[in-house]
Amino acid sequence: MPVSTPPTDHTAPVPTIVVVGHGMVGQRFLEALADRGLTATAGTARVVVLCEEPRAAYDRVQLTSYFTGRTPDELSLAEPDFMDRHGFELRLGDPAESVDREARTVTARSGETFAYDTLVLATGSYPFVPPVPGKDAAGCFVYRTIEDLLAIEEYARTATTGAVVGGGLLGLEAAGALKGLGLDTHVVEFAPRLMPVQVDEGGGAALLRTIESMGLTVHTGVGTQEVTAGEDGAVTGMALSDGSSLATDLVVFSAGVRPRDQLARDCGLAVGPRGGVIVDEECRTSDPSVFAIGECALASDGRVYGLVAPGYEMAQTAAEVIAGRTAAFTGADLSTKLKLLGVDVASFGDAHGTAEGCLDVVYADSRTGVYKKLVIGRDGTLLGGVLVGDAEQYGTLRPMTGTVLPVAPEQLVLPAGAGGPVALGPSALPDDAVICSCHNVTKGSICEHSTLPEVKKCTKAGTGCGSCVKVIGQLLPQSQDKGLCGCFSHTRSELYEIVRTLGIASYAQLLDSHGREAARGGDGCEICKPTVGSIIASLAPTLGASGYVLDGEQAALQDTNDHFLANLQRNGSYSIVPRIPGGEITPEKLITIGEVARDFGLYTKITGGQRIDMFGARVDQLPLIWTRLVDAGFESGHAYGKSLRTVKSCVGQTWCRYGVQDSVRMAIDLELRYRGLRSPHKLKSAVSGCARECAEARGKDFGIIATAGGWNLYVGGNGGAEPRHADLLAQDLSDAELVRLIDRFLMFYIRTADRLERTSTWLDRIEGGLDHVRDVVVHDSLGLCEELERMMADHVAGYRDEWAETINDPERLRRFVTFVNAPDAPDPSVRFVPERDQVKPDLEILAGPVLAVRTLEGTSSR
């Protein structure tokens, strides 16, 4: 086949750059070329990319998120028009087969040959599979690509037990994936602890306890001797080095990676004795026209870096050199922070304390799975650290590595109330401190910008592993930006008006039409998605949209609890809270609740809001429980939503000799009227039948107290962390006047409050305070009252019980499973122990916290 060459331009020859590999580092290299103007569209270079996988570069760091709902397209790193915009020629599924360095050509699997002026090897690494008998049996997999995940997912449909060989970063992610697929999961690690490279013995022990409490079985200090198979060639088990055996029908090898350097070896490039293409500080190989970057390269400091951040630095260096500038890669930060199986794990600097004369400051609490260690030099310099279970301070501590801490180190590891933590934030860092290690972005560079989208667009900080996003947010001048978040420059109340006025019923449409420029076309953030979801839900009747919060796009916008229409509890179970308007309930309904709680083994408690909570339900049990409750006449109590919770009441004049009004009837009428009303924050109410205030109405968002002349309406109360007595809005109201004013008050609050702003905070913040609110909702000073009343009438007319709709819709019921491939399998991590004739979560109380300081003279603890 003829050699593929660019169009001939005798006046200005265009160099050809051939890139072998299109993973995360390969894509970063292309972006660096584009940043430096080396593109076909600029007429400065022809760039050909040979990619082995059938898809363009994707975020391998977030690979496991595929099992939690992210699609391969959502994992993609390249913008849809990136290749076309720059004229890069991407050839998917057509990897390089050979390189002729003398002729300067690369031949692809398709047979096509490409001439190059510069060749860049970004071939990455391959999973290491121990050479044990049976490793090729059916049911054995590696955990490296999306295709690997698809194959594992398919095979797991008929499997019951899975084992992961390797307890490192990727191994624990693989274990989490198998558990999520419904398999009884084992982890086999040859080293004496999990994550031996990143954490020390104490950190590994804390991680082990937490992971075992989730229902995984961990085997450390043993190796895999053999994978056994049945007559059909499929995996049946594993033989371990300690003589034990393990029954399993699926095995994932995640025992590390090796540099993918065979292409370089075949064409005669120099490689290291243990693998890796040898490169100098410019990332050039032994052939000056060939570069190697990422996990396939053996850097000048003798390391093969297995993290994405060093690969990105190599990509930047190579692009800079190819562009004719000066750059050098002399090593990289090996710090890492991630969440494994929901557990925060971080290490930075000299995490193992190898420096001579260093000291350790250690805090350990095995009850909560928290372990923190700081390695301190004799002069007080922070050398490194390990954080397990609580890595909140990683973003501040890592950039401080190599500097003398401004406070005593124990103050940085002790919990609040025990001498720490101190208020040591990112503002204490010097401008040259690297905040984003993935893209080597300093605090000074970040502080040149004003919003997170701007930082991401201009510096790429926060677009890698994401561990620095919180610190970046703390560095930005947010007080100057009143926008809801980095995606919208509008406040919540402004977005409400935009949605209402323009009739926008889609989050994606709102983001593309009114989001910040850098956020358009994206998928938003955890702040604006539930906020806009609530706005659209509250305006659903006006917009002609579905009021069901899990229909279509709305499902992806909801907070955690709304995803399953139930409150998630600390041990992974859920609570059931049926609505009991006014606290009034018939004996038959009480019996139903008792029978449901008994039959499903639920913990029951009468709440302060005159309802009965039932705790301990698995996600797959929720529809079964609610079917029985709905059949008995119950409906959702919305304990999971930012909406009306309860309208509490005393017994009023019907039973009480002091009562002057029928408080129970009024409480029931109000609760049934405002049930399901989505709002910026939860809403609570109460109706007291007399001035004795037995229902505690003045501690509620809107409270009603009976008088001889009617009803007094109080608003803005709060009984939470910052108690506030409600203020009198109007007095001696008739039933109709009371309902009309509450309608107006609630709709005005929903329309103008900020995200997660209770009525008490809103009333104190809004300009003019209570007087302004009274002018608007009582005296109609803004001419809004008719509209506010109409919107509430639309809500009342359009109300539908979410659970009643859910249990009658097979498609909606599909989400209520613990494991997608084993819908009837219980979650083994949800465990209970008996207490006072009921159950409570099994939290496995272990030893108490320990703070230890290791010195050359010994170790002291307290």
Tell me the DSSP string of 768-791. Answer: THHHHHHHHHTS-TTS-HHHHHHH
DSSP class of 439: T
Cβ-count burial 199-229 (b if 16+ within 10 Å, e if not)? bbebbbbbbbbbbebbebebbbebbbbebbb
Does pLDDT of 417 surpass 60?
Answer: no
pLDDT of residue 547: 65
Q: How far is CA 634 from CA 368, 589, 624, in A?
A: 37, 8, 14
Contacts of 48 (CB under 8 A, 6+ apart): 4, 16, 17, 18, 19, 88, 89, 91, 114, 116
Q: How far is CA 847 from CA 1, 79, 287, 370, 860, in A?
A: 71, 50, 59, 12, 17
Does pLDDT of 465 surpass 80?
Answer: no
In this structure, the answer to whether residues 601 and 666 fall within a common structural domain is no
Q: Find the distance separating the first CA and the last CA of the chain, reported in whole Å.
A: 75
pLDDT of residue 312: 92
Q: What is the 3-state secondary structure (H, E, C) of 706-732?
A: EECCEEEEEECCECCCCCECCEEEEEE
Q: Which residue has the higher pLDDT, 411 or 276?
A: 276
For helices 308-322 and 24-35, what crossing angle results, to 10°?
30
For residues 385 and 373, the answer to whether their CB atoms sit within 8 Å is yes
In this structure, the answer to whether residues 402 and 447 fall within a common structural domain is no
Domain count, the chain: 7
pLDDT band at 308 (very low <50, low <70, confident <90, very high): confident
Lowest mean pLDDT of 20-24, 77-81, 160-164, 814-818, name the range. Answer: 814-818
Does pLDDT of 845 surpass 70?
Answer: no
Q: With CA atoms as reference, report the closest residue to 703 among 663, 737, 676, 750.
A: 663
Does pLDDT of 423 surpass 60?
Answer: no
Q: Which residue has the higher pLDDT, 435 or 587?
A: 587
Q: How many CB atoms lie within 10 A of CB 107?
A: 17
- Provide the greatest CA pair distance for the chain: 104
Residue 96 included in any domain: yes
Residue 69 included in any domain: yes
- Burial degree of 317 (CB within 10 A; 0-12, 13-18, 19+): buried
Residue 107 sits in a domain of what CATH number? 3.50.50.60
CA 495 from centre of chain: 24
Percent of the chain with pLDDT over 90: 46
For residues 40 and 88, the answer to whether their CB atoms sit within 8 Å is yes
Type of residue found at 357 = G
For residues 775 and 781, the answer to whether their CB atoms sit within 8 Å is yes
Q: How far is CA 129 from CA 136, 149, 305, 371, in A?
A: 10, 17, 19, 32
pLDDT of residue 827: 66
Q: With CA atoms as reference, report the closest residue to 338 among 173, 461, 201, 128.
A: 173
pLDDT of residue 656: 87
Residue 355 included in any domain: yes
Residues 382-391 have pLDDT tens digits of 998 888 888 7
pLDDT of residue 549: 67
Rounded to 5 degrees, φ, ψ at 210 are: -65, -45
Residues 31-58 have pLDDT tens digits of 999 999 999 999 999 999 999 999 999 9
Lowest mean pLDDT of 408-422, 456-470, 571-585, name the range. Answer: 408-422
Does pLDDT of 480 surpass 80?
Answer: no
The number of C-alpha atoms within 13 Å of 770 and in the hemisphere containing its C-beta is 13
pLDDT of residue 554: 67
Does pLDDT of 521 surpass 80?
Answer: no
Q: How many CB atoms lie within 10 A of CB 262?
A: 13
Residue 816 included in any domain: no
In this structure, the answer to whether residues 176 and 207 fall within a common structural domain is yes
pLDDT band at 821 (very low <50, low <70, confident <90, very high): low
Lowest mean pLDDT of 4-13, 108-117, 482-491, name the range. Answer: 4-13
Tokens read off for 236: 């049946």
CA angle, corner 157, sides to 151 and 161, nearest 5?
A: 95
In this structure, the answer to whether residues 765 and 842 fall within a common structural domain is no
Does pLDDT of 451 surpass 90?
Answer: no
Does pLDDT of 244 surpass 50?
Answer: yes
Q: Which residue has the higher pLDDT, 589 or 428?
A: 589
In this structure, the answer to whether residues 760 and 837 fall within a common structural domain is no
Domain encompassing residue 493? 482-519+528-558
In angstroms, rounded to a whole number, what is the distance separating the alpha carbons of residues 507 and 513?
10
CA angle, corner 547, sides to 737 and 633, nearest 5?
A: 75
In this structure, the answer to whether residues 660 and 748 fall within a common structural domain is yes
Highest mean pLDDT among 146-150, 500-504, 516-520: 146-150
The model scores a pTM over 0.95: no
Question: Which of residues 641, 672, 694 is at a domain's end?
Answer: 641
* pLDDT, the chain, mean: 85
Residues 275-289 have pLDDT tens digits of 999 999 999 999 999
Calculated CA dihedral for residues 644, 649, 653, 654, nearest 10 degrees: 90
Tokens read off for 410: 């124990």
In angstroms, rounded to a whole number, what is the distance separating the alpha carbons of residues 536 and 558?
11
Type of residue found at 661 = Q
Tokens read off for 94: 């057509």
pLDDT band at 108 (very low <50, low <70, confident <90, very high): very high
Tokens read off for 72: 């391969």
Rounded to 5 degrees, φ, ψ at 722 are: -125, 85
In this structure, the answer to whether residues 121 and 264 fall within a common structural domain is yes
Residues 604-663 have pLDDT tens digits of 988 888 899 999 998 889 999 999 999 999 999 998 888 999 999 998 988 888 889 999
Calculated CA dihedral for residues 241, 244, 250, 254, nearest 10 degrees: -30
Which helix (H) or strand (E) segment is 469 a member of? helix 469-475
Residue 327 included in any domain: no
Lowest mean pLDDT of 59-68, 235-244, 279-288, 705-714, name the range. Answer: 59-68
Q: Which long-range contacts (CB under 8 A, 24 or more apart) does 457-464 make?
A: 457/518, 460/436, 461/435, 461/436, 462/436, 463/438, 463/439, 464/61, 464/308, 464/309, 464/312, 464/436, 464/437, 464/438, 464/439
In angstroms, rounded to a whole number, what is the distance separating the alpha carbons of residues 441 and 471?
12
In this structure, the answer to whether residues 200 and 238 fall within a common structural domain is yes
Q: How far is CA 776 from CA 355, 358, 400, 784, in A?
A: 68, 66, 52, 7
Average pLDDT of 298-302? 91
Residues 693-704 have pLDDT tens digits of 999 999 999 999
> In the chain, what are the helix, strand and coil shares in percent, each to the nearest 5?
30, 25, 45
Does pLDDT of 167 surpass 60?
Answer: yes
Residue 195 included in any domain: yes
Tokens read off for 604: 């029951």
pLDDT of residue 125: 93
Average pLDDT of 653-682? 92
Residue 401 included in any domain: yes
Contacts of 80 (CB under 8 A, 6+ apart): none
In this structure, the answer to whether residues 618 and 702 fall within a common structural domain is no
In angstroms, rounded to a whole number, what is the distance separating the alpha carbons of residues 860 and 56?
54
Phi and psi based region of residue 719 (left: phi greater than 0; alpha: psi -120 to 50; beta: remaining): alpha
Q: With CA atoms as reference, report the closest residue to 359 among 853, 862, 860, 861.
A: 853
pLDDT of residue 1: 41
In this structure, the answer to whether residues 553 and 580 fall within a common structural domain is no
Q: Which residue has the tokens 């499903």?
A: 600
Residue 586 sits in a domain of what CATH number? 3.90.480.10
Does pLDDT of 844 surpass 70?
Answer: no
Average pLDDT of 494-506? 88
Contacts of 557 (CB under 8 A, 6+ apart): 507, 529, 530, 532, 533, 536
pLDDT of residue 776: 93
In angstroms, rounded to a whole number, what is the distance separating the alpha carbons of residues 800 and 548?
8
In this structure, the answer to whether residues 576 and 603 fall within a common structural domain is yes
Question: Which of residues 641, 674, 692 is at a domain's end?
Answer: 641
Does pLDDT of 847 surpass 50?
Answer: no
Q: How many DSSP H helices and E strands does the chain contain?
A: 26, 41
CA 534 from centre of chain: 20
Calculated CA dihedral for residues 549, 550, 554, 555, nearest 10 degrees: 130
The number of C-alpha atoms within 13 Å of 810 and in the hemisphere containing its C-beta is 0
pLDDT of residue 460: 80
Residue 667 sits in a domain of what CATH number? 3.30.413.10
In angstroms, rounded to a whole number, what is the distance separating the alpha carbons of residues 729 and 714?
5
pLDDT of residue 340: 64
CA 3 from centre of chain: 47
Question: Which of residues 411, 443, 476 is at a domain's end?
Answer: 476
pLDDT of residue 430: 74
pLDDT of residue 852: 55
Residues 13-34 have pLDDT tens digits of 789 999 999 999 999 999 999 9
Q: Which residue has the tokens 């109590």?
A: 637
pLDDT band at 862 (very low <50, low <70, confident <90, very high): very low
Rg, C-alpha atoms of the chain: 31
Highest mean pLDDT among 70-74, 169-173, 826-830: 169-173
Q: Check the CA dihedral 825-829-834-835 and report its sign.
A: negative
In this structure, the answer to whether residues 684 and 771 fall within a common structural domain is yes
pLDDT of residue 599: 93
| H helical segments located in 142-269 | 146-155, 169-180, 201-213, 262-266
State how beta strands 235-240 and 224-229 pair: antiparallel
In angstroms, rounded to a whole number, what is the distance separating the alpha carbons of residues 438 and 453?
17
Tokens read off for 83: 């290749």
In angstroms, rounded to a whole number, what is the distance separating the alpha carbons of residues 467 and 463?
9
Residue 814 included in any domain: no
